[in-house]
Amino acid sequence: MKRYSAFAVAREALRDHTGWGRAWHKAQPKKRYDVIIVGAGGHGLATAYYLGKNFGITNVAILEKGWLGGGNTGRNTTIIRSNYLQDPSAAIYEKARGLYETLSQDLNYNVMFSPRGVMMLAQTEHEVRGYQRTAHANSLQGVETEFISPKQVKELCPIMNIDGPRYPVLGALWQPRGGTARHDAVAWGYARKCSEMGMDILQKCEVTGVRTEGGKVQGVETTLGPIDCDKLGLVVAGHSSVLAEQAGFRLPIESLALQALVSEPIKPCMDVVVMANTVHGYMSQSDKGEMVIGGGTDGFNNYTQRGSFHHIEETVRALIETFPMLSRLKMLRQWGGIVDMTGDRSPIISSTPVGGIFINCGWGTGGFKAIPGSGWAMAELMAKGHSPLAEDFGLNRFVEGRFIDESVAAGVAH
Ligand SMILES: Cc1cc2nc3c(=O)[nH]c(=O)nc-3n(C[C@H](O)[C@H](O)[C@H](O)COP(=O)(O)OP(=O)(O)OC[C@H]3O[C@@H](n4cnc5c(N)ncnc54)[C@H](O)[C@@H]3O)c2cc1C
């Protein structure tokens, strides 16, 4: 595949852009692969990429029932941070954040990583104590964060009203190298590299059944016919329970719709990411100028990619308290994704009761930021049967009561 570069852009400009090839090849399913990954979201594609890059395993197919990146990966608000409380979480999210720093160079694809800084507002005394505790934990974990004062918050984000009517800003947990990246580009960049390594990405190929024999995986049934494999990775986010049922085991996962919305584009007014977890809303400004706003999850399980209307109202009302200037903006569009939630709000990267089947799910409302680290760990687990980064995220933690509780620690996990 041709390298993307400034020189290539100039060369193509001179010949009316007639020389660009396909970013990934159009594949037909083979009869058998060493590894099949179900789900061409960020986590599935990153798993395939690191299987090839780190372990030389390239006889791999990635099966996607829709189009690649069309699940949560293309529907999120792109916040990247690693300021989690628990050690296993900080380790995997910081690994991911570190990989994001050089992902564009690694993939030769501009993922527009923008380490503009992320602040999580403390708007109650409880949050002040919680975030100060997280800042201390982060310094022990080697994650660069600090607890900053309301004055520093105002300097970093002048459009904020820090004397809010209900919840004044009492400080914030600030991660200067957190930020955002272009979500589609992350999927596209990984897909291009996977294709370059000879892997097959099969879109519009839904897995409808998992074939096992003697407690070991044999292959999958798909809408494009049966395909055999030695190892199977299930990386399907909100559909994890559905695939697990096909393979014959159960998961401690609930599927819920989470939604987001964007405003009309305006001139640059905010160059940091702000999360206001007490009033519940979070916001950044996209390169196009739209204010990208994240809302809440539905209060009941469902598989709709919309979300309930009252969340839009509640989220916008909450953010207007902190950003009064938002009241003058029109909202352009709204959408939802199906997120996969565990009870402790931590992911599952694990072997399963079926030999040769591995699962990566449970990233819930906050897995975009984890894509490179999760793919790295899942690939290691699938190739070697063990990964230090994934060790604590096994399914057995639910049997042993060894939870990695980020729900109480973070309040909200985007
Ligand atoms: C509105 C919203 C905002 C969010 N904001 C953030 C944020 O700011 N920061 C952050 O870190 N995270 C955020 N997230 C969470 C993040 O998007 C997800 O955790 C992450 O994208 C999950 O990636 P994935 O690859 O596991 O899943 P997905 O991208 O959903 O990919 C799974 C794929 O599996 C496919 N699939 C399902 N069933 C089958 C089948 N039977 N056969 C074949 N393919 C199948 C699906 O079509 C899908 O493409 C947000 C999510 C949403 C919905």
φ, ψ for residue 205, nearest 5 deg = -130, 95
- Domain spanning 24-78+183-252+344-410: CATH superfamily: FAD/NAD(P)-binding domain (3.50.50.60)
Determine if ligand 1 sits within 6 Å of the CB of residue 311. no
> Which amino acid residue places its CA nearest to atom 4 of ligand 1?
76
How many angstroms does the Cα of residue 72 sit away from the middle of ligand 1? 3
pTM as predicted:
0.97
pLDDT tens string 63-104: 999 999 999 999 999 999 999 999 999 999 999 999 999 999
How many angstroms does the Cα of residue 155 sit away from the middle of ligand 1? 34
Determine if ligand 1 sits within 6 Å of the CB of residue 296. no
How many angstroms does the Cα of residue 238 sit away from the middle of ligand 1? 7
Q: What's residue 164's pLDDT?
A: 84
Q: Label residue 266 exposed, middle or buried (CB < 10 Å: 0-12, 13-18, 19+).
A: middle
Determine if ligand 1 sits within 6 Å of the CB of residue 47. no
Determine if ligand 1 sits within 6 Å of the CB of residue 82. no
User: Residues 6 or more apart from 136 whose CB is under 8 A from it?
Assistant: none
Determine if ligand 1 sits within 6 Å of the CB of residue 369. yes
> Which amino acid residue places its CA nearest to atom 31 of ligand 1?
41
> Which amino acid residue places its CA nearest to atom 33 of ligand 1?
39
The residue assigned the tokens 């399980």 is 301
Residue 28: which region, alpha, beta or left (left: phi > 0; alpha: psi -120 to 50)?
A: beta
Question: Above 90 in pLDDT, residue 162?
Answer: yes
| DSSP of 155-202 | HH-TT--TT-SS----EEEEETT-EE--HHHHHHHHHHHHHHTT-EEE
For the CA of 360, the closest atom of ligand 1 is 26
Q: CA-to-CA distance for 42 and 268, rounded, in angstroms?
A: 28
Under the banding of pLDDT at 50, 70 and 90, the label for residue 407 is: confident
How many angstroms does the Cα of residue 49 sit away from the middle of ligand 1? 17
Under the banding of pLDDT at 50, 70 and 90, the label for residue 414 is: low
Determine if ligand 1 sits within 6 Å of the CB of residue 410. no
Determine if ligand 1 sits within 6 Å of the CB of residue 40. yes
For the CA of 70, the closest atom of ligand 1 is 49
Average pLDDT along the chain: 95
Q: What's residue 307's pLDDT?
A: 82
How many angstroms does the Cα of residue 133 sit away from the middle of ligand 1? 30
pLDDT tens string 10-38: 999 999 999 999 999 999 999 999 999 99
* Domain ranges within the chain, ordered by starting residue: 24-78+183-252+344-410, 118-176+255-341
Q: What's residue 412's pLDDT?
A: 53
> Which amino acid residue places its CA nearest to atom 53 of ligand 1?
337
How many angstroms does the Cα of residue 235 sit away from the middle of ligand 1? 9
How many angstroms does the Cα of residue 17 sit away from the middle of ligand 1? 33
Question: What length does the chain have?
Answer: 414
Q: What's residue 245's pLDDT?
A: 97
> Which amino acid residue places its CA nearest to atom 9 of ligand 1?
79
Q: CA-to-CA distance for 88 and 9, rounded, in angstroms?
A: 42
How many angstroms does the Cα of residue 39 sit away from the middle of ligand 1? 9
Determine if ligand 1 sits within 6 Å of the CB of residue 244. no
How many angstroms does the Cα of residue 162 sit away from the middle of ligand 1? 33
Residue ranges with strand state E in 2-76:
32-38, 60-63
Determine the average pLDDT of the residues in 184-213: 98
pLDDT tens string 344-367: 999 999 999 999 999 999 999 999
User: Residues 6 or more apart from 91 whose CB is under 8 A from it?
Assistant: 141, 389
Q: CA-to-CA distance for 222 and 240, rounded, in angstroms?
A: 16
pLDDT tens string 368-383: 999 999 999 999 999 9
Under the banding of pLDDT at 50, 70 and 90, the label for residue 409 is: low
Determine if ligand 1 sits within 6 Å of the CB of residue 117. no
Helix or strand run (H / E) with residue 313: helix 309-322
- Domain spanning 118-176+255-341: CATH superfamily: D-Amino Acid Oxidase, subunit A, domain 2 (3.30.9.10)
Q: Which residue has the higher pLDDT, 308 or 117?
A: 117
Q: What's residue 7's pLDDT?
A: 95
Under the banding of pLDDT at 50, 70 and 90, the label for residue 408 is: low
Determine if ligand 1 sits within 6 Å of the CB of residue 97. no
